[in-house]
Structure 1
Amino acid sequence: MTPDHEGDKRYSSPLFNNSLMKGIEVLTAFGPQNPDMNLPEIAAATGLSRSAAQRFAHTLETLGYLRKDPRSKRYSLTPKTVEIGYRYLLVNPLIDRANPFLLELNRTSGETVNLSEPDGTDMVYIARFATNLHASVHMPVGRRLPMYCTASGRAYLSLLAPKYVRTLLESAPRVRVTPTTITDIEELMDTIAMARENGYAHSDAEYYRGDLNIAVPITDAHGSPIAAVNISAPTARWTMERLREELVPLLLSTGRQISSEQPPLADAEPFRKGYGIMPAYP
């Protein structure tokens, strides 16, 4: 057990597989700051001994999730690691239901539309329909953004109990990413209360400069928030006032549809092509 997990009762269960956890930690140690690593670097990044790092790296290389450069002896991720997350996208019923509505919103608004789900104090982007116009922000599926300074996060938080919202906000590092980022707890609580009252949330270039966002929560059959849909629009084409007037009504309608309706089969079918067994070619 790593120091970060000491004292956490979830990790002391007899059913918990510590070796599996360590193997996943090796994979997730790779990132923009560590695109490739040698064994000492893997050990340092994960808290493993060098011999343990070697065993896990060799196993993951054998399984095809890591590759080792024969000259530098440095390891890096392989495309096979994408398969793990891709399977989630294939089996997620929310994505399946939402895709046709997201596409329609993308077409009618002309701007980028995203679907995201909560994970801890972040929102994870699980579906995206990009604008065909110039966009200043690249937001690939799988990207995580903090709840406190994003419209999607605030939309999700707006349907939670205020006491729980405050606890979540206080537990997250709140960094002033841009000049307009709100980090003060009371101001954030007021912003989320406004979102609760209006039915939508907004973020005025608080994570990316020049990027305006509006978002609405997606709910389950019991009215509990499970996700959020947002429109991302550049300040070069929009003001927040215009977004509120022209696109918020479209966004609210899309949120209601995803929360309560199934798309027509003809609209959903194109998104399901290729989900089965791929054809074999001679």
Structure 2
Amino acid sequence: MLGAIYRHAGGRIRFGGNGGQLRKRTKFDPNDDTLNGEGFSTSLVRGLQILRAFGSGDPPLGNLDLMERTGLPKATVSRLTYTLSALGYLVYDEALRRYSLGTASVSLGYTALSSNPVVHVSRPLMHALARETGAAVALAGLEQNEMVYLSNCRSESLVTLRLNLGSRLPLWNSGMGLAFLVGLTDDERDELKRNFLPKNRVERAEMIKLLDDALAQYARLGYITAFGTWQRHIRAVGIPFRPRDGSPPVAFTCGGIAEIIDSKSARQKIGPALMDLREKLESLLEGRNNIAIGDEI
């Protein structure tokens, strides 16, 4: 079965089903109109750039904001925002002269989540783990050089992490990103390194060390821990998950502050619980077990 393709500004990364090999990247520039014959729709790429410019928690954006975030010319941005508004993917506020994501965009995202079996089937398991640990349990997938939350379950604790669907975490130094990276093949990781590691030598060396440490820990324990690697006060335990049907790889984390997650609880409770979650999820997805999955996304 064919694997998933992740696109980025320098080409495309293919994650093969069941850990297959990467396909060769095709270089492209979204602003280069000569690439229409290579299988890319430049207009579509530019339209998606506009939609992707809106981040979680952003205020409405004007055309100037979108120009700065996408690097597209003023005339192109104006034409695309007009078209996307007419189709319902953007909503234009005439008083503010700014745009927000429209219901068509929300509907598209919800459809993707609700039709994703990993997101749907894992919800009860994530809820149970959140209640058991008092921490936040999250599921995320790769989007360029960031991990994007696809699902998040929080405990009743007042000090749990308050990240939501669509929240973005860095790939190279967050617990979620490291958990994702350790589950890839060497070729897949090398492709991401070539395209997304920081150019600064010091930062690059720091990120590579974090990854090497995570790989060694995962080989030894079956999970990774990230204590203060992204935010000093945030601790996370994570595992990768690669569906056997060739769907995109993802990662799960159980995270919180130091008062909730310490080395002992990570080793004795959370790490083994995440591994158990993965085993149960694999069983459910392959039809080897039954579970009530009435939770809403």
Give me the TM-score of the superposition, normalised by structure 2. Answer: 0.74
Determine the structure 1 residue equivalent to 2:3.
Answer: none
Matching of residue 205 in structure 1 with residue 228 in structure 2: yes
Query: Structure 1: how far apart are the matches of 2:245 and 2:100?
Result: 44
8 Å CA contact 2:10–2:29 kept in 1: the answer is no
Give the drift of 1:99. Answer: 1.6
Larger radius of gyration: 1
State the match for 1:257 in structure 2.
280
Distance change >3 Å, CA 108–CA 14, structure 1 → 2: same
**Structure 1, 4-13 or 135-144: larger mean CA deviation:** 4-13
- 1:145 aligns to 2:176 (yes or no): no
State the 1:72 CA deviation: 4.2
The answer to whether the 8 Å contact 1:123/1:144 transfers is yes
Aligned positions, number: 266
SS of equivalent to 1:183: helix
Q: Deviations over 1:24-76 (max 9, x none)?
A: 22222334797334444444544444333332222222222323333443333
Alpha-carbon deviation of 1:204? Answer: 0.3
Checking the alignment, whether the CA contact within 8 Å between 1:121 and 1:146 is kept in structure 2 is yes
Q: Decide which moves more: 88-97 or 108-117.
A: 108-117
Q: Secondary structure at the match of 1:107?
A: helix
After TM superposition, the structure 1 = structure 2 runs for residues 17-28 of structure 1, keeping only pairs within 5 Å, are 17-28=41-52
- For 1:279, the equivalent position in structure 2 comes to none
Structure 1 gaps of 5+ residues are: 177-181, 276-282
Helix, strand or coil at the partner of 1:208: coil
Deviations 1:192-228 (A, max 9, x none): 2221221001100222232110012223338998222
Structure 1 residues 187 and 23 mapped into 2: Cα distance closer, same or farther (>3 Å)?
closer
Answer yes or no: is the 8 Å Cα contact 1:136–1:211 preserved in 2: no
Larger RCO: 1 or 2 (CA < 8 Å, sep 6+): 2
Structure 1 match to 2:292: 267
Q: Whole-Å Cα distance in 2 between the matches of residues 250 and 218 of structure 1?
A: 14
Asked if the contact 1:151/1:202 (under 8 Å) is kept, the reply is yes
Q: Which amino acid aligns with 2:260?
A: R
For residue 28 of structure 2, what is the amino acid of its counterpart?
D
Q: Does structure 2 retain, via aligned residues, the 8 Å contact 1:166–1:189?
A: no
Equivalent residue, structure 2, for 1:74:
98
Structure-2 change in CA distance of 1:61 and 1:94 (3 Å) = same
Counterpart residue number, 1:280: none
Provide, for residues 217-267 of structure 1, a one-character-per-residue CA deviation record: whole Å limited to 9, x for no partner: 223338998222211121123322322122222221111111233486551
- CA 1:232–1:72: 2 relative to 1, 3 Å: closer
The amino acid that maps onto 1:271 is D
d(CA) in 2 for partners of 1:227 and 1:174? 22
In structure 2, the partner of 1:220 is: 243
- Which amino acid is 2:230 matched to? Y
Q: 1:194 aligns with which of 211, 214, 217?
A: 217
- Alpha-carbon distance between aligned partners in 2 of 1:137 and 1:196, rounded to the nearest angstrom: 28
Q: Does 1:245 pair with 2:268?
A: yes
| Structure 2 letter corresponding to 1:23 | G
**Aligned position for 2:254:** 231
Match of 2:83 in 1: 59
The 1:66/1:194 distance shift into structure 2, 3 A limit, reads same
Tell me: CA distance 1:156–1:31, structure 2 relative to 1, closer, same or farther (3 Å).
Answer: closer
In structure 1, distance between residues paired with 2:249 and 2:10: 28
Whole-Å separation in 2 of the counterparts to 1:43 and 1:130: 36
Q: Is the 8 A contact 2:138 2:254 kept in 1?
A: yes
Could you state the TM-score of these two structures normalised by the residue count of structure 1? 0.78
Aligned-pair CA distance for 1:132? 0.8
